[in-house]
């Protein structure tokens, strides 16, 4: 099915990879950015051959302006744009409101344009939080907001729930599904790094001198994009209403550092070789915002299975060790981590 797909958030890490794969398969792509004057030259430089097959529209998640034009003539939407900051905002609505209103806005304009295939980039954040004493999750699990979770987790959970409710009520014929990645790593395009890749950078460049007792699920940006493309192309009955977590493996930060030392030793001289005691994380959290987030995750296993996605969409994940190596090599090639 080649046609035209609207990819929201074309400046982003995942949005860029989705565009890359769609263009490579012969699709035309409309994409939204917040500031076209700033972002269009960057996108044109990335895909110089795309010409008229790539159209860039200025549209913010918080305003109706530009959305009708961006959707016109499209066959499907990959709604990827959503705020994903490194720090925790003082006001949770800085994330929850644009994530939720933006998703509903994208849905409404897609529906008004007659588009019947909508793939939302949700997150494992909407699956694996708010449950005490539960370590293993899959596509059937939902984050429980009742006892309070960090704003980003809430933003992704509320956005996905609201989207599903909106479709059920207003557009039952629309084929809606979500992609729910764990932490996304893999090759980067330039030095505008996603929050997730910042973590690998910090493990490589010595800014984490000791490894906190924290782990994360790992998925490759190329697999996340492939899941989007396959969800757009699959028969409606296969994907309608589905949730597609993408996750290859859960790893502790210590294991990530070991993997980098084993597979790319020339890039791994500054990776942490010792565990940071929990009390030190808690002490540093008093004045380092990123340690505050780590403090809440000490010792937690949130292992989200991505098997359902492999089974339904029919592909095999890149091994996490390869993803980590490719991330490190890419960060080095772009001069983002210096040695």
Find the helix packing angle between 320-333 and 195-204, rounded to 10°. Answer: 80
Bridge partners for 250 per DSSP: 217
d(CA 37, CA 279): 47
Nearest approach in angstroms of CB 264 to ligand NAP is 21
> Is 245 a residue that touches ligand NAP (CB under 6 A)?
no
How many residues of this chain bind ligand NAP (CB under 6 A)?
25
Nearest approach in angstroms of CB 189 to ligand NAP is 10
Task: Give whichever of 15 and 215 is closer to ligand NAP, judged by the CB atom.
Answer: 15
Nearest approach in angstroms of CB 85 to ligand NAP is 8
* Closest to 319 measured CA to CA, from 225, 218, 244: 218
Write the interaction track for ligand NAP spanning residues 179-218; mark x where CB under 6 A is met and - where it is not.
--x-xx---------x-x----------------------
Half-sphere exposure of 158 (CA within 13 A, CB side): 21
> Is 168 a residue that touches ligand NAP (CB under 6 A)?
no
Region of 79-87, 277-285, 300-308, 323-331 interacting with ligand NAP (CB under 6 A): 79-87
Q: What is the DSSP string of 278-325?
A: HHHHHHHTTT-HHHHHHHTTTT---EE--HHHHHHHT--PPPHHHHHH
Helix (H, G, I), strand (E, B) or coil at 74: coil
What tokens were used for 331?
């960060």
Task: Give whichever of 14 and 76 is closer to ligand NAP, judged by the CB atom.
Answer: 14
What tokens were used for 171?
């557009």
Write the interaction track for ligand NAP spanning residues 1-30; mark x where CB under 6 A is met and - where it is not.
--------x-xxxxx---------------
Q: Phi, psi (5° rounding) for residue 257?
A: -65, -40
> Is 61 a residue that touches ligand NAP (CB under 6 A)?
yes
Task: Give whichever of 179 and 276 is closer to ligand NAP, judged by the CB atom.
Answer: 179
d(CA 285, CA 304): 27
> Is 56 a residue that touches ligand NAP (CB under 6 A)?
no
Task: Give whichever of 58 and 259 is closer to ligand NAP, judged by the CB atom.
Answer: 58
> Exposure of 195 by Cβ count < 10 A (0-12 exposed, 13-18 middle, 19+ buried)?
middle
Region of 57-65, 200-208, 225-233, 257-265 interacting with ligand NAP (CB under 6 A): 57-65
Q: Are 199 and 137 in contact (CB under 8 A)?
A: no
> Is 309 a residue that touches ligand NAP (CB under 6 A)?
no
Region of 58-66, 128-136, 207-215, 300-308 interacting with ligand NAP (CB under 6 A): 58-66
Q: Which of 24, 62, 112, 236 binds ligand NAP (CB under 6 A)?
A: 62
d(CA 164, CA 152): 19
Residues within the interface to ligand NAP (CB under 6 A): 9, 11-15, 33-34, 60-62, 80-84, 98, 121, 123, 156, 181, 183-184, 194, 196
């Amino acid at each position: 099915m080649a046609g035209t797909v609207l990819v929201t958030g074309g400046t982003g890490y995942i949005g860029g990879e989705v565009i890359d794969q769609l263009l490579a398969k012969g699709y035309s792509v409309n994409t939204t950015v917040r500031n076209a004057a700033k972002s269009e030259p960057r996108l044109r430089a990335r895909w110089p051959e795309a010409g008229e097959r790539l159209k860039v529209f200025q549209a913010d998640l918080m305003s109706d302006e530009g959305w009708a034009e961006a959707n016109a003539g499209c066959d499907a939407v990959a709604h990827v744009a959503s705020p994903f900051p490194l720090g925790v905002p003082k006001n949770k609505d800085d994330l929850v409101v644009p994530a939720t209103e933006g998703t509903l806005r994208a849905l409404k304009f897609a529906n008004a344009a007659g588009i019947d295939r909508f793939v939302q980039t949700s997150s494992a954040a909407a699956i694996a939080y708010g449950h005490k004493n539960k370590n293993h999750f899959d596509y059937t699990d939902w984050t429980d907001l009742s006892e309070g979770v960090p704003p980003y987790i809430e933003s992704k959970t509320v956005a996905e729930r609201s989207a599903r409710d909106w479709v059920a009520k207003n557009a039952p014929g629309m084929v809606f599904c979500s992609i729910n990645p764990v932490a996304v790593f893999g090759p980067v395009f330039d030095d505008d790094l996603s929050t997730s890749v910042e973590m690998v950078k910090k493990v490589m460049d010595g800014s984490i001198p000791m490894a906190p007792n924290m782990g994360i699920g790992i998925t490759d940006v190329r697999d996340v994009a492939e899941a989007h493309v396959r969800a757009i192309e699959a028969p409606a009955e296969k994907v309608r209403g589905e949730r597609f977590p993408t996750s290859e493996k859960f790893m502790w930060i210590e294991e990530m550092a070991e993997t980098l030392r084993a597979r790319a030793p020339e890039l791994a001289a500054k990776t942490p070789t010792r565990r940071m005691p929990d009390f030190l994380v808690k002490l540093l959290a008093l004045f380092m915002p990123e340690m505050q987030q780590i403090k809440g995750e000490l010792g937690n296993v949130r292992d989200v299975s991505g098997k359902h996605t492999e089974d339904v969409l029919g592909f095999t994940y890149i091994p996490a060790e390869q993803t980590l190596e490719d991330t490190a090599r890419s960060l080095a090639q772009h001069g983002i981590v210096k040695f």
